[in-house]
A and B are shown apart, each in its own frame.
Chain A
Amino acid sequence: MSHRLPAPARARLSYARLQQRFAPYVFVSPFFLLFLVFGLFPLLFSLFLAFHLWSPLDGLGHWKFVGFENFALALDRQDQFWTTLKNTVWIGLLAGVPQHLAALPLAFLIHQSLRRYQSTLSTVLFLPYITNAVAIAIVFATLYSERLGLLNYLRGLVGLDPVRWLGDPSMVPYSVAAVVFWRYLGWNVVLYLSGLQAISEDVYEAATVDGAGKWQQFWYITLPLLRPMMFYAFTLTIVGNMQLFEEPFMLLGDGGGSSGAGLTTAMHIFNTAFRDLDMGYASAMSWLLFLAIFALSMVNNVLFSRGGER
């Protein structure tokens, strides 16, 4: 074909041509620059630090290579890292499991029967999610207060002894988990609602014609078709709960409360880095936490892919 343009001479590499060629890169560059500075660099830096002993007060460059010592330290059975990981998983389960057990039927109920109030209900349920963590901590610290709190006041009315919600180490995980449950329930309901809306009405109509009841519809239609959304919601819960920080930190302070029963791994990492100024050890633990989250997500993945349709 002779329509092809002749190859441009070097001299014709004009401004317009340059612009045409490089403008797209310039336009997409903000993301990459930001990612390099705030994403990739900290990631690599923390990997670097994980193999070093470094106090930030010594300034950049004054790090000492220690090999795998930081990892060995964390993996030692007696170290606090294990205790905090146990705390995290336990609080995560206490908050996460009921969250989904409640969110799914709640979303189904709203979708099926309360559709008129759907937007109002979603907003109400979603509110805790966007509420400031400090405000939440103040309100719950007041509710949980041993002598002045509403919860113990109510227990008193029915003749029960006061409970030290935030003082008794065996109660602390439940108290924290309740806040986490309350805070993220709405988020999950909204996720499930959007999943339910994606299911075609035709399927339900067909099922109704075939004589399936509400329960059968839920069990044989809703649940299987909601699998992708459930997978997504579970993954988010696992990732979020394993990184739990705000709620226990605000309720219990940096020590994690009595006996450190509410000390999560993320809090422990924060303390190690910014209070004890042991950046290398904190970085090593961050990577171990990352591996733990990765492993749990994989378990979730396997559980969900079993049975095929995803």
Chain B
Amino acid sequence: MNKGLVSVLAAALLLGQAHAQEKVTLTVAVFPSLDSSIKAILPAWQKKYPNVTINMQAQQYADHHNAMTTALATGQGLPDVMAIEVGYVAKFAEGQGLEDLNKAPYNAAAAKKLFTPFTIAQATSSDGRFIAMPTDIGPGTFFYRKDVLDKAGVNPVNMQRSWESYIAAGKTIKAKTGAYLVNTAASVYGIIIRTNLKPGEGIYFDKGNNLLVGPDNARFVRAFTLSKQIRDAGLDAKVGEWTNEWYDAFKKGTVATQFSGAWLQGALQNWMAPDTKGLWRVQNLPERSFASWGGTFYGIPSKAKNKGWAWEFIKFMTMNQSAQIAAFEDNGAFPALVSAQKDKVFSEPVDFLGGQKARVLWRDAAAKTQPIDVNKYDSVADQIVQTELTNVLEKGKDIKQALSDARAQILRRAR
């Protein structure tokens, strides 16, 4: 029997079992606000598969991932479908507890072409296993307050040209309106290290697991230098994300720009600053760079009980155009499915952004975002470099020294 026939038979068996009319309860472990997306799609699923009940187990973001880590470690209490946020997907990919979707009966190779390309790389382990299907993405752009820029007489296009022109515009804005350029200097660092990567490079490590952080890496030196310039010029509000000051800055327009994924529009409109409707616009990041903020995936644990139905569920959630649109309209979960991005809602103007056709811009940014190699020590490197960055910003530590200290610390931990 050849290999192709085996996989066809296996698929037939699996589907045969899956489509039998017995009652099935499928456990799906998720975090907010993904549960809201799923609820928006569930009626359609129930209509198609009335015998399959979805038992949704939603926990807070960190609790969910801790629970999934423990479940994978012990092989106990695993759900049938596991939602994974982009911050965890690389670590989960390097572990051995999730099904390789490249293999039969899933054969996801063909499906992979349907998604925004960089997400596939995020869910692929270094040994080539594809462990989770993407459902939503966070194409990155920058939001700016049109009213503040107008008052300062700054043309937003100028802010896009280079980081230097972005900072220069920030000085004008500060002088003319008193508004800060950005919430914290660290967010400029965050984008620069995520853009202009060479093929085969990740943020902190390259494909061969070589550490890129160090005093000789131009990307990190530039990111640290520009952050420091912004801090020294008094252009950042020194406000962390997800704090009361952050929301207050959005409401009062005391910060002129914010780098973010497309989802920020939904958050601003729904709860952060609904009264600022019409005052915001978006445009691409400076130096025509592209980055992504966030993203969600679904994987199947190897020890799941209903793998057949799990796969059906995942396909329904990720590859079904109307499901993806429903999630997008429910809470702004930007579809990872390319064909869903061609839906007519994407060419509709966004009222909150003064009627700007922003979704086209996001779609374009998503298509241009390069795949970034991920590494299981990314979180170790991230924390160490962030700490060194604050040492530079807050304590005036020398940039080269900070980067070589960071390098030494990361090398020790990444074993």
Contacts and interface: CB of A to CB of B under 8 A. Distances in A.
Given A57-B91, A57-B97, A78-B408, A258 B245 contact: no
Interface residues on A, range: 35 or more
A60 B71 CA distance: 11
A79 B408 CA distance: 9
Interface string A57-71: 111101000000100
A73 B97 CA distance: 28
Given A145-B244, A146-B245, A55 B386 contact: no
Contact of B75 (A60, A164, A259): A60
B245 A80 contact: no
Interface in A53-103: 53, 55-60, 62, 69, 73, 76, 78-80
B394 A53 contact: no
Nearest to A168: B394
Interface in B336-394: 376-377, 379-380, 383-384, 386-387, 390-391, 394
Contact of B394 (A169, A274, A281): A169
A164 B238 contact: yes
Residue of A53, A62, A79, A275 contacting most chain B CB atoms (<10 Å):
A275
Contact of B244 (A148, A259, A260, A278): A148
B96 A59 contact: yes
A50 to B, nearest CB: 15
Contacts of A141: 243-244
Interface string A122-157: 000000000000000000011001111000000000
B394 A55 contact: no
B88 to A, nearest CB: 9
A250 interface: no
B69 A258 contact: no
Q: Is the interface of A mostly helix, strand, loop or mixed?
A: loop
A122 to B, nearest CB: 34
Contacts of A259: 387, 390-391, 394-395
Contacts of B95: 55-59
Interface in B54-78: 66, 69-70, 72-75
B69 A274 contact: yes
A147 B72 contact: no
A144 to B, nearest CB: 10
A79 B395 CA distance: 19
Contacts of B376: 55, 277
Interface in B383-415: 383-384, 386-387, 390-391, 394-395, 405, 408-409, 412-413, 415
Contact of B94 (A57, A79, A258, A260): A57
A145 B248 CA distance: 11
B219 to A, nearest CB: 22
Contacts of A260: 383, 387, 390
B106 interface: no
B91 A147 contact: no
A275 B96 CA distance: 17
A57 B390 contact: no
B76 to A, nearest CB: 10
Nearest to B389: A259
Nearest to B391: A259
B92 interface: yes
Contacts of B91: 55, 57, 277
A217 interface: no
Given A167-B238, A169-B394, A55 B94 contact: yes
A145 B245 contact: yes
Given A148-B245, A169-B395, A276-B379, A57 B413 contact: no
B394 A57 contact: no
A141 B244 CA distance: 9
B409 A57 contact: no
Contacts of A62: 96
B73 A60 contact: yes
Contacts of A53: 415
A168 B409 CA distance: 23
Nearest to B65: A274
B200 to A, nearest CB: 24
Contact of A57 (B73, B379, B415): B73
Residue of B72, B245, B408, B415 contacting most chain A CB atoms (<10 Å):
B415
A80 B408 CA distance: 11
A205 B377 CA distance: 68
Contacts of B409: 78-80
Contacts of B405: 78
A278 B96 contact: no
B238 A274 contact: no
A300 interface: no
A148 B244 CA distance: 8
Interface in B237-254: 238-240, 243-245, 248
Residue of A55, A62, A79, A259 contacting most chain B CB atoms (<10 Å):
A259
B383 A59 contact: no
Contacts of B69: 56-57, 274, 277
B92 A142 contact: no
A278 B73 contact: no
A167 B239 CA distance: 8
B415 to A, nearest CB: 6
Contacts of A55: 91, 94-95, 376
A255 interface: yes
A58 B125 CA distance: 13
B97 A258 contact: no
Contacts of A278: 380, 413
30 contacts: A55-B95, A56-B70, A56-B95, A57-B73, A57-B94, A57-B97, A58-B97, A60-B75, A73-B412, A76-B412, A78-B409, A79-B409, A80-B409, A141-B243, A141-B244, A145-B243, A146-B238, A146-B245, A148-B244, A169-B390, A259-B387, A259-B394, A259-B395, A260-B387, A274-B66, A275-B379, A276-B377, A277-B69, A277-B376, A281-B413
The 3 closest A-B pairs by CB, nearest first: A57-B95, A56-B73, A259-B390
Given A57-B72, A146-B245, A276-B379, 9 more contacts: A56-B70, A76-B412, A142-B244, A146-B238, A146-B239, A167-B238, A259-B395, A276-B380, A281-B413
Interface of B: 66, 69-70, 72-75, 91-92, 94-97, 238-240, 243-245, 248, 376-377, 379-380, 383-384, 386-387, 390-391, 394-395, 405, 408-409, 412-413, 415
